[in-house]
Chain A
């Protein structure tokens, strides 16, 4: 029983990180139909910038905010300089542009920072909290709370603010949106900024647990991408559910089956889901029009 609870807790922690990355994918996909493979680099930048700012003597909370703002700026630049000029390019080209961006950012981080692993202290100490025989790190609670808060904030933003509705309108139909006075390019810029900020926040929250380094982006982007697909691309609730599900599948596989195959099982489940439900768990069936 304690074992089960332990796997559950660690699954939710990892899943919350995947969910945050998947939310980032979802936001950009909604605004621009682009799957941004550089999403993992936003997580890396969040962790790396906060670490180096913190080491330079800036208090950790301030360093974190600095990192989130700087990463958001990188997101905006990525959109302005690489995604907007490539509007209308085929999926394969867009995949390569964002993969190019991810390699570029990795190269930049390696140059500006270094190639070491880094960690900064947990926000509320490292004493594990005991729950019914299982334990959880206080930092894990930060991660989970962060994911839930971001999800709620996004939900409020899309459901109850004019700007949020404008983003949704742009996602639905660019031309119709611009006809009613929405500037689709502004909406895209906003989405990239928010998406990068969410990625950076995930990086800040998770660095005390998993450490950060210039090349952690690929692995985390793969998982976030898979989680977003599992839930159904472009659906925020799907990203949350997909992320948590992926984290739980991994934790239970690692616990009960084999830790080396935890990533493999995750992908087997995703393949199975996609075969049965080609639009993901929460996706609606798209209609092709001739």
Chain B
């Protein structure tokens, strides 16, 4: 039996997640790995929106903020378990995306960019200014998920960093599996048709507005879950999670790695999460080099990192 590309991608991802710790010299690397997976999850959602449906969003950190603050606030105010708070956040993000999606997605290109940007800024501003509830710019502590204790009780003892590495890795893998299935489904094909030409897609009977909206809602849920995981992992959250710069980071990772491809975007997330870590050695030059790399990849590898590398490998082989 020949493996499909989808299964191959998932197997390679799973192996990488499982085997990478063999190379980790210290616990610190588990944390970086977990950060990559958290970003990878959000970025996978953006592949659905930007890569499949061709719609840009500069406000997805807003949804990450909703997810993060759901985990920070719901346990205290509603008495919810943090795990349920995460689901509540995802539902809330999906609901908000559904409400604002239809009018926002009528806009195109840069207009859509500024509208989503406005949404993201509104969320981060509410989080920063409603200090009585959210803790304001100083941030807020987040309750312990408690799963690690449960695992220890049945004999699986993991350090905190190891636990979050495994949990976020699993979440990203699940996210990639859902997105890859979506890509192969009739909905995924319709989305890509819409990406190539909205008018052509409409003439063959695709409900363009409904599809764009679904992509927006799905990507919002991904971003929300990613925000929740980040909050639970750090046990602390500040409004920065919803900030404009985080939105830009997420879009950059998506496009950088290869916007139409789930593994590409995950590679983008990995590269751009690792790069600043590596560049702290060159602290003074960090921004300079980061900006330069962003420009060079986009100019010379127009389809993003992974698709360009794959093409070059094939061309040689």
Contact = CB atoms under 8 A, between A and B. Distances in A.
Given A105-B291, A274-B114, A96 B56 contact: no
Contacts of B119: 267, 271
A260 interface: yes
Contact of A111 (B199, B244, B285): B285
Given A100-B291, A100-B292, A102-B291, A288 B122 contact: no
B24 interface: no
Contacts of A86: 298-299, 302
Q: Which of A86, A97, A101 has the most CB of B within 10 A?
A: A97
A108 B302 CA distance: 25
A85 interface: yes
A92 B259 contact: yes
Contacts of B290: 100, 103-104, 107
B107 A278 contact: yes
Contacts of A91: 56, 109-110, 113
Interface in A185-238: 218, 222, 225-226, 229, 233
Given A92-B255, A102-B291, A264 B121 contact: yes
Interface stretch (B11-19, B72-80, B245-253): B245-253
B118 interface: yes
A203 B125 CA distance: 26
Contacts of B56: 91-92, 95
B103 interface: yes
Contact of A97 (B198, B200, B251, B298): B298
B199 A290 contact: yes
A233 B298 CA distance: 24
Interface in A27-59: 35
Interface string B251-265: 110011001000000
B294 A99 contact: yes
A132 interface: no
Interface string B109-149: 11101110111011001100100000000000000000000
Contacts of A93: 255, 298, 302
Contacts, number: 134
Given A96-B298, A229-B114, A288-B199, A278 B106 contact: yes
Nearest to A266: B118
Contact of B299 (A82, A111, A222, A225): A82
A225 B50 CA distance: 21
A92 B254 CA distance: 10
A104 B295 contact: yes
Contacts of A157: none
Given A261-B125, A275-B103, A278-B111, A107 B298 contact: no
B286 interface: yes
Q: Which of B121, B245, B295 has the most CB of A within 10 A?
A: B295
B287 A270 contact: no
Contacts of B125: 260-261, 263-264
Contact of B118 (A99, A102, A270, A288): A270
Interface in B234-292: 244-245, 248, 251-252, 255-256, 259, 284-292
Contacts of B122: 264, 267-268
Q: Which of A96, A97, A107, A229 has the most CB of B within 10 A?
A: A96
Contacts of B255: 92-93, 96
Interface in A268-290: 268, 270-271, 274-275, 278-280, 288, 290
Contacts of B114: 225-226, 229, 270, 274
A279 B107 CA distance: 8
Interface in A71-101: 82, 85-86, 89, 91-93, 95-97, 99-101
B111 A106 contact: no
B295 A274 contact: no
Contact of B295 (A100, A280, A290): A100
Given A82-B299, A95-B56, A97-B294, A107 B287 contact: yes
Contact of B291 (A85, A101, A263, A278): A101
A101 B295 contact: yes
A110 interface: yes
Contact of A95 (B115, B251, B286): B251
A274 B107 contact: yes
A35 B110 contact: yes
A266 B119 CA distance: 11
A110 B289 CA distance: 13
Interface of B: 50, 56, 58, 103-104, 106-111, 113-115, 117-119, 121-122, 125-126, 129, 198-200, 244-245, 248, 251-252, 255-256, 259, 284-295, 298-300, 302
27 contacts: A89-B299, A92-B50, A92-B259, A93-B255, A96-B256, A96-B298, A97-B298, A97-B299, A100-B298, A103-B291, A105-B291, A106-B291, A107-B285, A107-B291, A260-B129, A261-B125, A261-B129, A263-B121, A267-B117, A270-B114, A271-B119, A274-B115, A278-B106, A278-B108, A279-B111, A290-B199, A290-B200
Q: What 3 A-B pairs are tightest by C-beta distance, nearest first?
A: A107-B287, A104-B291, A100-B294
Interface of A: 35, 82, 85-86, 89, 91-93, 95-97, 99-108, 110-111, 218, 222, 225-226, 229, 233, 260-261, 263-264, 267-268, 270-271, 274-275, 278-280, 288, 290
Given A97-B299, A271-B118, 9 more contacts: A86-B298, A96-B294, A104-B295, A105-B291, A106-B291, A107-B288, A110-B284, A274-B111, A275-B106
